[in-house]
Amino acid sequence: MKKYRIMFVCLGNICRSPLAHGIFEKLLKDANLDGVVDVESSGTSGFHRGEKPDPRMTGVAASHGVPLDHLRSQQFKKEDLENFDLILPMDRENQEHIKKMMTSKDQKEKVKLFRDYDPEGKGLEVPDPYYGGPSGFEKVYNIAERTCRSLLGDVKPLVV
């Protein structure tokens, strides 16, 4: 059976989207769903292509038992709009960037803001922690973890 494919997207693919990628990957493994759901992440920019996630993000994720060190930054491509079932940008700027690459209504329906799944902040953006202090990374972790848990609850009935 074809796997259900989810893509998380931010600007650099070194902070927010690799975090969501790592958390969701772990949740899938723990739920024995890694065989039926595929997860990826990317950035709308190619600034950090090939790089590991930001060590500040990797450190916070590791403190919560989530490994990110195996991930490498890649740029979001037009074909991803065809190849993924659900595309979740972290903020509206990146959502707009993706929208400009769309060629069909089908693709439009696949793209939703990540925090549309946040039970405590539906429709809000994930703040960019890159230029801020350490508390920003912890805050982003908390948002991403509860949003990924809720996302898994929504995706599960589609794949089991």
So which residues are the catalytic ones?
10, 16, 128
Pick between residue 11 and residue 28 the one whose CB is nearest to ligand 4NP. 11
3-class secondary structure, 85: coil
Q: Does 11 bind ligand 4NP (CB under 6 A)?
A: yes
| Interacting residue with ligand 4NP among 30, 31, 35, 47 (CB under 6 A) | 47
| Interacting residue with ligand 4NP among 6, 14, 111, 143 (CB under 6 A) | 14
Using CB atoms within 10 Å of the CB of residue 133, give its burial: 0 to 12 exposed, 13 to 18 middle, 19+ buried: exposed
Q: Which residues of 143-153 are buried (b: 16+ CB within 10 A; e: fewer)?
A: bbbbbbebbbe
Contact indicator for 80, 51 with CB cutoff of 8 Å? no
Segment 84-143, which members bind ligand 4NP (CB under 6 A)? 128, 130
Pairing between β-strand 37-43 and β-strand 4-10 as defined by DSSP bridges:
parallel
Give min distance, CB of 105 to ligand 4NP, in A. Answer: 28
Contact indicator for 40, 21 with CB cutoff of 8 Å? yes
Give min distance, CB of 145 to ligand 4NP, in A. Answer: 16
Give min distance, CB of 11 to ligand 4NP, in A. Answer: 3
Q: Which residues bind ligand 4NP (CB under 6 A)?
A: 10-16, 43, 47, 128, 130
